[in-house]
Amino acid sequence: MTVTEKDDHNLKQNKEKKSEHGLQFSRGNQVKWLSFPYLIWMIGFILIPLIMIVYYGLTNGENSFTTANISIIADPINRDALLLALELSIVSTIICLILAYPLAIILNNTKLKSNSFIVLIIILPMWMNFLLRTIAWQNILERTGVLNTILEFLHLPTLNIINTPAAIVLGMVYNFLPFMVLPIYNVLIKIDKDVVNAARDLGANTGQTFRKIILPLSLPGVVSGITMVFVPSLTTFVISTILGGSKIVLIGNVIEQQFRLGNWNTGSGLSLVLMVFILFSMAVISKYDKEGEGSNVW
Amino acid sequence: MVKKFFSRCYIGIILLFLYAPIAILIVLSFNASKSRAKWGGFTLKWYQELFHNEDIMAALSTTLIIAITSALIATLLGTAAAIAMNSMKKTPRTILLAITNIPMLNADIVTGISLMLIFVALNFTLGFTSVLLAHITFNIPYVILSVMPKLKQLNAHTFEAAQDLGASPVYAFFKVILPDIFPGVLSGFFLAFTMSLDDFVITHFTKGPEINTLSTKIYTEVRKGIKPEIYALSTLMFVTVLLLLIFINRRKADKNTLIRKV
């Protein structure tokens, strides 16, 4: 059946259903066909392309099966790049969480209850190009940069963190902090104030209320935040290129280089290795996102 | 009060952290020295030269055309899909939402590579169209996730009531449903537009050698030094958005006070 035939068929079915059940919007069948263009789009541009990576990753140039593209991860250079990427992305995720949680709580407690305004302030920096913002950090962190000028002025010891892993972590925290703040904030504003007040009435102090009520209820937001920061940090090649100099290589740089050199099979194989970590985070998120809403993310 | 003081300080520090690089870029756009590293005095030269730089202007127009078109198409497809998904039973809805989440949770580099592989496999020349298709693909989920919550809050009976009063389903949709979910549709569109504008990684893999967006143009200049005109352009874009947002917030505030007075 072609798409239009399918649509016609469904429309007919829907018309029959309508006469049986009367008109419904929320549970009606008549609007389901609206998802077909989307479904076809996502199969064509998300699912099939992912299968292509699996195919390229598991074959060599002559279309025969091989696991060489996967096992190349054991090569010391690639292995170190993966381990360093894991280390830096875990550190950045933890820092983001430590910075974002108090911020989300403060934002939630402000009298200024204009929800969209707070979200805008956090998203607004994205209107300055992501690469440029990262380049600006070069200016701040450089040996004679803004930060060191200020430190010298205050007669404090200068820092030398450009082209070190610390600069990359800073770049990751800077770029992905909004992705930690927003999901946590979105969960916090939904917590029923009566539940918090009830806990206080029953004699819980601030610490107990936080531990027993707010923290458990905010966990889905924390989990989305962790995924939203961990995955892009683990896979970045831009931040390490700009702030890490040429000596620090992350797994993202290795993959990008393989594709630049035309080694698509090797690049795909290494991407498959990365996808194991991504799938793991997705599994964790879906465990906490029981409703299947995904709305915690934004 | 002490607590409030600390809260204010904390927000201040975070905002400083988020906006310091932006301040640096704005300062650099007025820097007479071509080098990023030293201050050569105040100038407006780069703002004038910007409009004569054909490379940058071409990249800007490509970026804007792709951002607007991809956000529009993604808004249409995404809103339709969200309405359909809202009316589905739990299992198909969960499956569709899981597919929706893939491009949001997957790494950009993997999405970019996978799209490049499919375009090449289909003998599709990498260029403007491939970038546009890629942007629509990663934009749709943002629209769906913006529209879905609005659909949930919807009162289904108003739609039935409109039809009982003789409106056709399509007419009832435009008169009853759409006005209610419109804020979600609009924020989905703007989110998609912003994501498209700011994307580098997926564009990098799907663009081919012929075209450049602002992001890919900047990336080619990272090693040899960014042209100061780029700083001027980003400053202009940032200030435009900032003014637009202040204007919208003002109007909202005016409306609110007006309602309160009435």
Q: What is the pLDDT of residue A229?
A: 93
Is the distance from CB of B242 to CB of A124 less than 8 angstroms?
yes
How many whole angstroms separate alpha carbon B180 and alpha carbon B174? Answer: 10
Residue B132 has pLDDT above 70, yes or no: yes
Q: What is the pLDDT of residue A289?
A: 63
**Mean pLDDT in residue range A33-50:** 92
Q: Structure tokens of A272?
A: 């498959």
Tell me, yes or no, whether A107 and A14 share the same domain.
no
User: Domain span at residue A44?
Assistant: 1-66
Q: Of A66, A84, A99, which closes a domain? A: A66
Helices B228-261 and A130-141 meet at what angle, rounded to 10?
A: 110
Tell me, yes or no, whether A56 and A87 share the same domain.
no
How many whole angstroms separate alpha carbon A292 and alpha carbon B99? Answer: 11
Q: Which of A158-162, A175-179, B196-200 has the lowest mean pLDDT?
A: A158-162
Tell me, yes or no, whether A199 and A216 share the same domain.
yes
How many whole angstroms separate alpha carbon A61 and alpha carbon A64? Answer: 8
Q: Is A276 on the interface with B (CB under 8 A)?
A: no
Tell me, yes or no, whether A23 and A109 share the same domain.
no
Mutate to test the interface with A, among B88, B109, B200, B229 (most CBs of A within 10 A): B109
pTM comes to 0.86
Question: What are the boundaries of each domain within chain B?
Answer: 1-32+40-53+229-262, 56-226
Q: What is the pLDDT of residue B30?
A: 93
The Cα-based distances of B16 to A122, A125, B12, B31 in angstroms read: 12, 11, 6, 22
CATH architecture of the domain B56-226 equals Orthogonal Bundle (1.10)
**Mean pLDDT in residue range A41-69:** 92
Tell me, yes or no, whether A117 and A238 share the same domain.
yes
Tell me, yes or no, whether A109 and A256 share the same domain.
yes
Predicted ipTM?
Answer: 0.86
Residue A263 lies in a domain: yes
Tell me the per-residue pLDDT of A253-273, one tens digit each, with 9 for 90 and over.
999 999 999 999 999 999 999
Q: Is A27 on the interface with B (CB under 8 A)?
A: yes
Residue A297 lies in a domain: no
Q: What is the pLDDT of residue B256?
A: 66
Q: What is the pLDDT of residue A2?
A: 44
Tell me, yes or no, whether A137 and A250 share the same domain.
yes
Tell me, yes or no, whether A188 and A284 share the same domain.
yes
Q: What is the pLDDT of residue B233?
A: 93
The Cα-based distances of A198 to A83, A208, A213, B150 in angstroms read: 47, 12, 10, 29
Predicted confidence band of residue A296 (pLDDT cuts 50, 70, 90): very low
Q: What is the largest CA-CA distance in chain A?
A: 82
Tell me the per-residue pLDDT of A276-295, one tens digit each, with 9 for 90 and over.
988 887 787 777 765 444 44
Tell me, yes or no, whether A240 and A145 share the same domain.
yes
Residue A24 has pLDDT above 70, yes or no: no
Tell me the per-residue pLDDT of B198-245, one tens digit each, with 9 for 90 and over.
899 999 999 988 899 999 999 998 878 888 999 999 999 999 988 988
Tell me, yes or no, whether A82 and A57 share the same domain.
no
Q: Of A11, A37, A66, which closes a domain? A: A66
Q: What is the pLDDT of residue B64?
A: 95
Contacts with A, B 118-147, CB within 8 Å = 118, 121, 133-134, 136-137, 140, 142, 145-146
Tell me, yes or no, whether A200 and A115 share the same domain.
yes
- Work out how many domains chain A is built from and give that number: 2
What's the whole-number average pLDDT of chain A? 84
